[in-house]
Structure formats: structure tokens, C-alpha cells
Chains A and B, each alone.
Chain A
Amino acid sequence: MRLKEIQRTAHQAWSPASHHPIYLALGTSAQQLDASFNTTAALEIFEMDFADPSLDMKLKGSLPTTNRLHSIVWVNFGLGADGTGGRLVSGSENGAITVYNVEAILGSAADAVVGQSDKHTGPVRALDFNPFQSNLLASGANDSEIYIWDLNNFNNPMTPGAKSQPAEDISVVSWNRQVQHILASANPSGKAVVWDLRKNEPIIKISDHSNRMHCSGMLWHPEVATQLVLASEDDRMPVIQMWDLRFATSPLKVLENHTRGILSISWSQADPELLLSSAKDNRILCWNPNTGEVIYELPTINQWCFDVQWCPRNPALLSTASFDGKISVYSVMGGSLEGQQQSSVDKISSSFDNMDPFGMGQTLPPLQVPQPTAQTTIVPPLKKPPKWVRRPVGASFAFGGKLVTFENPPPAPAQSPQPVPRQVFVSQVTTETEFLQRSRELQAALQAGTFVHYCQAKIQSAPCDAEQDIWKFLMVNFEDEARVKFLRLLGFSKDELERKISKCLGKNFQPNGHGVDAKDLAEKMQLLSTERADEAGAVSDTGSTSPTDFFSQIPQDKPSFQIPISSDTDGLISQALLVGNFEGAVDLCLNDGRYAEAILLSISGGEELLKKTQQRYLETQKNSISMLISSVVTQNWRDIVQSCELDNWKEALAALLTYAHPEEFAPLCDTLGGRLETEGTEKRSLQACLCYICSGNLEKLVECWAAQRDCSSPLVLEDLVEKVMILRKSIERLRNSEVPLQSPTLAEKLTCYAGILAAEGSLATAMAYLPDDSHQVSGTGALVFSLHASRCLPTPLIRTHCKSYVLAGNVRTYCTSYVIVRAYIKGAGYNWCYQRNLYFSL
């Protein structure tokens, strides 16, 4: 397939492989004139822009030259850091060798010529640069002249040895591709000479006995150091000979197909099984030199092509220079020529004025350019796929964290009888080692029921206090007397407290009980309320310091007394008492601020009165402990959790643990947790989590935990799942029944968790975590879930899931349902129609 074309009668040189973009340098050919007999000469550099579908080459720089060329090479020497630039070296008809700085030509700078030598006495037809040391250049001219040039010191060339006799033109020089000090030269008479530059002499001469080889080309094998090919220009022997220096008596192989002399050859450096040749039979062939087979014939050439060259950078491209003055670039990968042919026809056609060029008053029909039929048909690519399209290695991921890899060992020597094993490896990729380890531990604990042990291990390995606290709380759930133990964890121990109280009362005995420490009072109040049925102070020992005695001491302070009956408060109280009007007496006491009397009296006045009195008393008290007392006495814990200072969360929780009824306990803990959570700090959130653990509220725990953390990381998610699963087990233990995982947040997190497990290859474990009601899962989790889960769930189960889901009216949004159902359908791989009906019934 032809890609680019330009009208030039020129020699060509591709930019080196490192050069991007790809350039092609063209220098006007010697001994060829175009139809205009133009004798000017120029060196031009074009860019090959293959993103541009037109055949045009973009001129990037040009330089008028004084000489016409016989040869040109683009040398790797002096490349810029980005691999661009370098040197162009040309050999001209008068024997001059000129070195150009590519950068300067591209930049139209004046000093483009950086070296020139007239050392050769005749036309320089042969040029090659050393592939290992790019500063070394070999040139060949008439009279057996061969020079080795050092671009670092251009003026003093060396010779590879004594001139071979008799003196002949040198038509080709070529450096060995494997051994850097080996050079070969060839001449039209058919002899090739191999020089060793270390010895400075020819080491072997190759000559065919037929004497008909007229060497127009010679190339070393790109990979085998001892092999080279010679191409013959002689019409009587239009062949390419392949020689091996190890058997240098006759050619190893002769490639015969051309019918007239071969003008040029080029060996692909990217694939040694691709050798190009152009001949005077107007054909350009591509050979597999190993088999001698012609694997490609370049179409559309109607002219001798005197130079053919593979592109070093893009191995599928080659350029041709033909005697009809065209430089063309082709791809050997085949393809249609139709599109581009059409455009060239249009171009030719439109270059004439169709309207009325001869002034005859009539429009001419469009120009019909005859199209050879071969050009419009499809050009097949190389018969043998080139090396550069054969992918040798691959790695592809598959479901469940599996990786499928293959690599092809370098081709074994052809003689090797052992067939190469062609293996594909299926591997398991696990990147979350710690995650998997922990999930295994969790799974083991869940299955074995060793929860306490698991929690203990967690407590020991906890990275911080907060984490440790949480695990301690979680563990308590599995023990008896959980509430007492919770209290202890919060820092409240009954025994410890009793000691403190005794101490306190012993040292600071105060009959007026106001203003003592809250716990102290709470204790007192508790005792009071538990013993309120007893007559206060019925039995007592003087001097006793026990709280009960404290109250019973009060009446004993007055050994004898009179009953006042005056009209003041005292009098009214005693009168009321005397007639048994407890209510009135209590009212009077309260009114006078005699709370103790009021309480005492109301105890005698019955339960109802006592309650009323307590209430009225508490209403009047506005100090810090009154709320607590109030709550303890009235059994109203809601007030505490709703209005205590958040710093007192521990105390509030302790109060709940001590007093709250089992049925009230959980909601109250949740309320407290909710308040802590709304503050939004990490500390509070952890405290809230503790509340939720006490209450056994899975959903809240998850929400609170997740709100503070980005649960997308596997380990963070693992942290959460561990807690949730353990808490769930403890609740199940308490309730003696299975706890469903109903919360959407939780379901989503578990789904995510299952997704990661699945991606790491733990499919069975992943399934264990899939929520039953996964249709409630929305968003990303759902997708990840469906991606994974649907692939490992057995089909009947999916059907059940799917059906139940479709039948369940409680879908959250259509969108979610769409994704999920789609996912299920996707995974199921069974009767699509049936599923589609279900699906559309949504």
C-alpha cells in the first residue's frame, strides 16, 4: 500500500530509528536528469506524517548543494538527547564526501556543512556507518579506494588495508552487524572482500566461479555474524547469493526469481526474514532469505527502481527511488490503494482546466486517467507475518483476581529437536495480604465460635486505645453480667465506690447533705428509694455513719419537744399533722423550704404523695446533680441522655447501665450515641460507637464508623466488618436467634467487602458475606457486588434473588433496580427472554 509519494530524482536516507517523527532525506542523484534537464542539486528533508492520509510529504528543510550524489546515509552520530538530529553524509560524483548537520538543515542555518573531503578520486558510490560506533564511516569509490572516516576527526581517513588488485570500482561497503571491526566491500566484477580493521588487511575473499556476479548490493545478515548476501546486476544472472563465511567456497543459497539484473537490496533490521530487492524487471520483491521464498511483491511499479530501503523506525515501511523520478513510501502490511489512487486521479484531473482550455466553447469531459487494474484491487500483506506483529508475551486479568500470562521463549536453534513447550500460566494475584489474613482469622473465629478468644487477640494487638476500648466492649457482650462489666470498663466499680463513700462520710460528715459529690448522692438516693417502704429512722445506732443511719439520726437530735400550735408555719404544720393532713403539712414544709421534713412526711403520706413531693422538690433544685437525682428518682433516663453535657457521656452511659430497663436500654444508648455522633469529631464518634456496641445496634455502629472513615480501603473495611460480625454474633447469642443484616449501609459495606474478597480470589468467603437482601444495596457497592457476586452465585440462587427482587415492591429507585437486575441477568447466563420479561415488568 502506497502511503507517500513525491517527484524527485534522488538518493534517499531514512532518519535513524531513534528519530521521531520519521524523516526522509533526499539528495539529487548524479547521472540522472529529469525531463527539464535541470542541473541544480539540493538536499531536502521531508517529514512522513502518516496521520495525514494524503500522499504528500512535508518539506522540513532544504539546502542547495553543489554536487549531485551517488550515495547518502543518515548517521546516528551527534544525535540530540531526544534522538533527533544526527549527520547526513553524502558521496558525490566528483569524489567529494560531505558531512551535513541535520539540525542546521532543518533550521536553515548557514553552517550546515560540517565537513568535506576530496580524498576520493572518483564517484563515491558506497557509504556505510558502523552500527556500534556511529562516528566511524566507511566509503568506497573507484580505483579500489576504501576509506574509514572518523566523524570526530574528519580530515584523516584510514584505509582498511592495502588496496585490492586489480583496481576496480567499489560498489558497496558494509559493516558487519555483530562484530564491529569487520567490514566488507564488493565490486561490480563480483568479488567481495572482508576486512578486519584490527589486522588492517583483508581476511577473506568471496567469489563465485561463474564470474557473472556483478555486485550491485551486499549486506551482512542482521543477526548471524558470518552470513552475507550479494546481489547481481547482471541480466544473465539476476540472483541474490547468500554466503556463509564458514563455507566460503560456494553460496549457501541462491535466491532466484528476478528476470533481469538486481539494482538494490535492503535487509530488514526488525525481521531478518525480510529481504527486499528491486531489479530491472520492474519488480520489487520481498524474500524470506532462509527459505528462498518470495513472500511479497510490491505492486504498482512500472519503472526500474534503483534504490529500495526499509525504514529503520517503522518496520512496515519502505521507500523506493525509481528512474521515472519518483520517491515513494509503501507499507508491506497490505491494504487498499483505492482511496489514495482516487485522490491522485482527482489531482491530475483538476490540474487541467476542464472548463474550456482550447476556447472552443465547450466543456471537456473529465480527464480519464487509465488505472491499472492491479492498483485498485486489494494488496495482500506479506505472506509471512513479520516478526514485529507477532505478539510474544501477554498478561490478562480474569475474574477472581486471576492473571493469565504467557511468554514465548526465544526461538530455539532450528536444529533443536525438542519442541518448545507452549505454556499458559493461570495465577492468583493477591495484593491485600494483610486483609486476606485478617479476613481468614475472622472467618475462622466466626465458624469456630471462639469470639472471646478473638476479641482478646484483638485487644492485645490493638494499635490504639480507642480501638482497644471498642474490642473490650465487644468482648463484654459475650460474658455474663455484661452491664456490670460495661460499668467497670467505663471506670465505675461498685466496690470501689463504696470504699470511697465510706471515706468521704468518715472525714467530712455533714448533716446537710446538699452539695456532695454526685455519685455519693446518687448512692444515697438509691438507698432511699429502695428502702422507702421502711419507716425512716425506725432502727438506728447513734454514731453510726452508714447512710441509712444518717437519716435515722435526724429525729434523735431533740430529746424532748413541745408541739407548737401557733398560727405560724410550725403551728400550721403540727396542726395539719395532728389531723392527719399530710398533704397540707408537706405543702407547708415545701413552702417554707423545709424539704427534708416534706420528704419525711410524704413517706408517711403514701406513695403518691411521695412522688409528688419528690417532683416538687426536684423542680425547685437547679444545681448540677439535681438532674441526676431527678432521673434516678423518677426513673426518667431520657432527660439525662438528651441533655447531659457530652463530656459526661460516660456517666450518662453508666447511669443507663445501672438503672435502665432492658427494653429502654438500647434506645437510650442509641440516643446518647446519636448526640455524640452529631458533634462529628473523631473522638465523639468513637464514643458513639461504644454506645452502639452497648445497645447492640449494628446499623448505627456501621453508619457511625463509616461516616468518619473512607471505607474504600480494604483494611479500613476489614476493621469495620470485624466489629460488625463480632457484634452480630454477640447479639445472636443474647437473643438466641439469627440477626438479619437489614441496614442498607451495612449491606453496601458487606457487598464491597465481598467484592474485594472476590477480587482477591476468596470466592467462597465472599459469598458468605453477601447480604440476603442485596437488592437494597445502591450505588457503587451494588455494581462491584454484581460484577463479582453474580459470577460465583449458582444460577438457581440468582434466579431466586432476581425473582424475589422483582416481586418485592420495596425497590428503592428504578436506577438501583436496573443496575442490580442487570447484574443478575448478566451473571446468570440462562434464559434471557425469561429474564427480560422480569426485567421489563419492573
Chain B
Amino acid sequence: MVSVINTVDTSHEDMIHDAQMDYYGTRLATCSSDRTVKIFDVRNGGQILVADLRGHEGPVWQVAWAHPMYGNILASCSYDRKVIVWKEENGSWDKMYEYTGHESSVNSVCWGPYDFGLILACGSSDGAISLLTFTGEQQWDVKKISNAHTIGCNAVSWAPAVVPGSLVDQPSGQKPNYVKRFVSGGCDNLVKLWKEEDGQWKEDQKLEAHSDWVRDVGWAPSIGLPTSTIASCSQDGRVFIWTCEDPTGNTWTPKLLHKFADVVWHVSWSITGNILAVSGGDNKVTLWKESMDGQWACISDVSKGQGAVSSITDTQQSEQ
């Protein structure tokens, strides 16, 4: 069952492009073609406008909340080629950092796992991906992967800090050996995996299956199981679920979740990683779940925040 518990009237003056809840699910950040970012307090079904952040000079594509451990921090990226990191200090929101190192629209921002500190990945239409790391004292270290996706990067998503399966076989007394990894999708129809080695970012894998722009990628949260999972969606209407059970992370297998009639813009995993929300160009939002035998089934069609949920078995029966 998907039921609306709060309808937030954002008063944005143009298209909304992203809406994200903070870590605790108490605040909502939205961004729009009207060049603003807004933050609402949505506790107990309310909708109090906390901040109206102006600073971008073009449509704002995405917002991302940093881990609350570092304070109340929000990153936004825009067509104006800028990335702005906003911070709440004594109840008021201000710019903490502005990054202008991209040469074209910045389409995606994603904070890395908190284990790595404050680190932000940004994907741009100039084909590059920037990694911005807060080094303290208002200093940010910038690393840039040029030409990550030749004619533009549309999406970035970090891998969980926990190495797959590490909770299962971690020898006691050892600190888990974390590797920074993330996935990106671009206009070259590719999904690429990146890995930091000796402080350098390297292309780790190149996943080919889509026949048009990859619009979004999402690395599923780890619940300690030894499988890594990534979802990718594309202009070609297809959504693929990529899995890797190989501990070295080299063998990724795609599984077609579904081919939609229209472009698929966005994929989002639930916190427990068992449900995938897919949003398409026909204004359709669908929820997908993997059955015990590894098949993906649509469990819900969400329209205006409402929808019924069918169990997986029902869905399969109706399909047969």
C-alpha cells in the first residue's frame, strides 16, 4: 500500500526536478527550474518552509543531503555549471562552498558514505566527474576525472562503504578495508564503475547494455550480504539490475528489469535495498521487488503518491 501522508505544496514557479528527504525523514529539500532550492520541515505531516536557497543561475537539477554527522549540509547542482554546498548554521542556511570547475551543466551530485568524510561526487554534461572532499577549515580538495563519459555524465551513485560480505567473514580485530567506489551513467550509453587506488580515481568496470543515454544509476544499500547490486535506467526505456557476487568485483551480470515505453529518468532503492522505485517520462512511478527465485516483479503503480501494492506471487500469477 502506498498512501500519501503529506502533500507538500512547494510554490516553485517552474518544474520540480528533485525532492529528497534528509537522513531522519524530517526535512524535505526540493529544487526546480525556477533556480531555487527549498527546504521544508515535514515532521508530523506539516510543511513549514525552512529555507529558500537562491544562488544558482539556472535550473537546479539535483539536491543531496550529507550525513547528519557532519551537520545539516545540502549540495545542489545546476545547469549553471555550479555545485553549491549549503550549510545550516545557527538556524540559517548559507553557502558553505561553491564549485565552478565544470564547463557544462552539472547533472548529478551524490555524497559518499560518511566513513570517507564529506566527499561529494558531481557528474557533468562536460563529460567529467568531480570529487570534492572537505579537508577542514573551509578547504576543499578537488579531484577530477576528465572525459569520464564522452558526451556527458548524467548520474553518479556511491557504493556502500561496507565491502560486500565483509560482515560475514570479517576477521575479528581488523578494521574493514574500505575502498571508495562509485558508479556513473552517461550519454555514451555506458555505466561505469570507478575506484580509488592510491589516491587516484580509475575506471574499474565498463558495463554495456543500454542503447541510449543512461539517465540514472543507483547502487543498492548493502545489508551485509555478499552481493553488490546496481540499478541503471536509460532513455531507451530499459532498466537493468546489475549484480556482482564475485569478491573481486569484476564480474557484473545484467538482468533486464523491464522495458518501459518511455524514457526512464530515475531509480531509487529503499533503505533496506529490497524495493526499487522507477520513475518514467510518462509521469509513472512503479515499485519493483525481487521474488525469492530472483525475478523482478512490479508490485505497485504509484500515481500522485498513491497506489496499491500487490504481493509478488499475485503479480507473477497475473502475468502468467
Contact = CB atoms under 8 A, between A and B. Distances in A.
Interface of A: 1, 3, 20-21, 50-53, 313-314, 316-317, 331, 333-336, 339, 378-381, 385, 389-408, 419, 421-431, 433, 755-756, 759, 779-780, 782-784, 787-788, 791-792, 813-816, 818-819, 822, 825-826, 828-829, 832
B250 interface: no
Contacts of B15: 390, 392, 408, 422
Q: Which 6 A-B pairs have the closest CB atoms?
A: A425-B305, A398-B21, A813-B172, A829-B68, A335-B126, A334-B104
A759 B25 CA distance: 12
B313 interface: no
Contacts of A397: 268-271, 275, 277
B114 to A, nearest CB: 6
Contact of B275 (A379, A431, A822): A431
Given A393-B281, A396-B21, A779-B224, A429 B187 contact: no
B1 A404 contact: no
Nearest to A781: B224
Given A390-B33, A814-B175, 17 more contacts: A3-B150, A51-B150, A316-B125, A333-B104, A380-B81, A397-B275, A398-B25, A401-B271, A403-B287, A423-B8, A426-B42, A427-B306, A429-B270, A430-B3, A431-B275, A784-B272, A829-B68
Nearest to B292: A713
B310 to A, nearest CB: 9
Given A395-B302, A791-B25, A814-B172, A819 B167 contact: yes
A646 B4 CA distance: 55
B61 A381 contact: no
B104 A399 contact: no
A296 B311 CA distance: 51
Contact of B25 (A402, A422, A423, A429): A402
25 contacts: A314-B151, A316-B187, A333-B105, A334-B81, A334-B103, A335-B103, A335-B152, A391-B17, A392-B265, A394-B266, A397-B275, A408-B16, A421-B9, A422-B14, A423-B8, A426-B7, A428-B3, A433-B309, A780-B224, A783-B167, A783-B222, A784-B223, A787-B221, A815-B167, A829-B69
B158 interface: no
B211 interface: yes
**Which of A316, A426, A815 has the most B CB atoms < 10 Å from its CB?**
A426
A407 B304 CA distance: 7
A53 B67 CA distance: 36
Contact of B33 (A385, A402, A822): A385
B151 to A, nearest CB: 5
Interface string B83-114: 00000000000000000000111010000001
A151 to B, nearest CB: 26
A428 B5 contact: yes
Given A393-B281, A431-B275, A381 B187 contact: no
A396 B268 contact: yes
B185 interface: no
B10 A385 contact: no
Contacts of B69: 825-826, 828-829, 832
A725 to B, nearest CB: 23
Contacts of B146: 339
Contacts of B305: 403, 405, 425-427
A565 B200 CA distance: 110
B111 to A, nearest CB: 13
Contacts of B299: 431
Interface in B174-215: 174-176, 187-190, 211-213
Contacts of A313: 212
A217 B303 CA distance: 43
**Which of B13, B69, B147, B311 has the most A CB atoms < 10 Å from its CB?**
B69
B11 interface: yes
Interface string B121-148: 0000111000000000000000000110
Contacts of A422: 9-16, 32
Contacts of B300: 429
Contact of B23 (A381, A791, A816): A791
A378 B100 CA distance: 12
